[in-house]
Amino acid sequence: MANLLRGNDLRALGFPEGRAIGLALAQLQRKHLKKLSQTDQLALLGQLIAHPNDYLTDLDWSHTAAALLPPPDRHIALVERKDYAVFGAEHIEPGAIHQMEIAMKLPVTVAGALMPDAHHGYGLPIGGVLATDNAVIPYAVGVDIGCRMALSVFDLPPRYLAQRTQELRGRLLENTRFGSGRGFERGQRLDHAVLDRPEFREIPFLKNKLDKAAEQVGTSGSGNHFVEFGLVEITDPANELGLPVGQYLGLLSHSGSRGLGAAIAERYTQLAKDVCQLPGEAQHLAWLGLDTAAGQEYWAAMTLAGDYAAACHDQIHRRLAKALGEKPLAKVANHHNFAWKERLADGRAVVTHRKGATPAGAGVLGIIPGSMTAPGFIVRGRGAAASLASASHGAGRLLSRTRAKAELGESQVRQHLADHGIELIGGGLDEAPMAYKDIRAVMASQRDLVDVLGSFTPKIVRMDGA
C-alpha cells in the first residue's frame, strides 16, 4: 500500500519537532519500506520512538534514531517536569501527552492541565492549558488567535428547522463566507469599531493588515470552522440565560481571527524563537517576557486579534438574525486559543494559555460543541483549580486529517449524515463526524469542571467547500 503517513501522524506517535520527522518520512520512501502497510509503518515508528538507542546501528534508521536523542544544550535548558492534571487520559493520544510533558519542563511554567479532547498540535497540544510566570508563548495561544464559539437562541419552534430547511440553507449561503482569503464583496461589507482600533496604526507590523481585515470581517475560515442552524434544548431551569426549559431554534458559529491572527502568530512565534533559544523538541514553546517591548507588543496584537474574532461572530449573527427577522432571546460566547492574566487558587499571578480549551471559571458560561451528528453543550464553569478553571473546547479529533481522508469514503459519510438528518453545505472527509471523539465520553470526563445547562444539536451546517 502507498505510504500515506504525514508529519502529523508521526507527531501523534510522540515524535518531537525537528529533523527526526523529516528523516523518518524520507526513509519511508525507500522501496522496501514503502511496501509496508500503514499499520506496519506506524508500528515500526512506534518502536523507534520508544527505543531510539536500539536503532543507532540500524542501516535504515540510524540517522533518525540519532535525531530522536536529546539535543545538545542550548542557551535555555529545560527543568524538572512539574506535575499537571489530566482529564480523560484514556481519550488522549501519546503525542499530546508528550507535548504536555515538554511544556511542563519550561522554566517559566507554573502549572498546567490537559483536557479530555486533547490531541497533537504545534508547541502546546490542542486541549492544553498552561500557566506561566510573566511570559506569553505565541504557539501556546495558537495560530488562530481568539478562535471562538458563539450561540444565538431564537424564539422559534423546533418545527421551523424541518419546515424551512431550504430557506435556512439559502440564508447561510447568502450571509456567510468561508475559506482562506475569502471576504465579502466591497458593497456587502459591514463596518465595525474594531477596524478603528489604534493598534492598526501604532504597531508597525499591523499597518498593512487593515485592508485585509476589513475585507474578511464577518467571515469564517476553513478546517473545522462552521456556521449552523440547529435545535437548542434548555434543561436547567436555573440557567443564567433567563430561558424557560424547552426547545428553541439556535444559531452556532465557530471561527477565529482569520488572516490577521495567523499573521500575528507567525510573526511573533519567529521573534520568540529568535530571542528564546530552547532545545529542538521545545522550540515551538519559545516565549516572550511581558516585561519586554516584544512581549507587550504581542499581547496588544493578540488582544486585537481576539476582539477581531469576536467582531466576525457579531457580524455573522447580526446578518443571520436580520435574515430571519428575529432578535435573539439570549446569546452565549467564549474564546479559546488565547491567553489571560489570571490568579491561581493560591493567589499567584500567572498568564494562562488555553489552546483549544474553554474558560470555565465559577459561573462563566461557554459552549462545547460535539460534531455534525452529535450535540454540543451549553455549560457553566465550576472554577476547578485542578483544570486551571478550564474545560474541553469540543470533542477533539479521533482521526488526524490525513487518516480521515484515507480511511473514510464519501458515500459512507453522506449516508451517516443522512441517517442523522443533517443538511451539509461544504465540508470534507477530514471533518466527518467519525473523525471526532465521542462527545458524551468527553463530557463524562469533566463533570467536575462544568455544569450542563442545555444542548445544541446541529441540523443545517455550513463549512468551507463547494
Enumerate the active-site residues.
393
| Three-state SS sequence of the chain | CCCCCCHHHHHHHCCCCCHHHHHHHHHCCCHHHHCCCHHHHHHHHHHHHHCHHHHCCCCCCHHHHHHHCCCCCCCCCCCCCCCCEECCHHHCCHHHHHHHHHHCCCCCEEEEEEEEEEECCCCCCEEEEEEECCEECHHHHCCCCCCEEEEEEECCCCHHHHHCHHHHHHHHHHHCCECCCCCCCHHHCCCCHHHHCCHHHHCHHHCCCHHHHHHHCCCECCCCCEEEEEEEEECCCCCCCCCCCEEEEEEEEEECCHHHHHHHHHHHHHHHHHHCCCCHHHHHHCCEECCCHHHHHHHHHHHHHHHHHHHHHHHHHHHHHHHHCCCCCEEEEEECCEEEEEECCCCCEEEEEEECEEECCCCCEEEECCECCECEEEEEECCCCCCCCEEECCCCECCCHHHHHHHCCHHHHHHHHHHCCCEEECCCHHHCHHHECCHHHHHHCCCCCEEEEEEEEEEEEECCCC
Q: Residue holding cell 486533547? A: 118
Taking the C-alpha atoms of residue 400 and residue 296, their distance in angstroms, rounded to an integer, is 35
Sign of CA dihedral 422, 423, 427, 429: positive
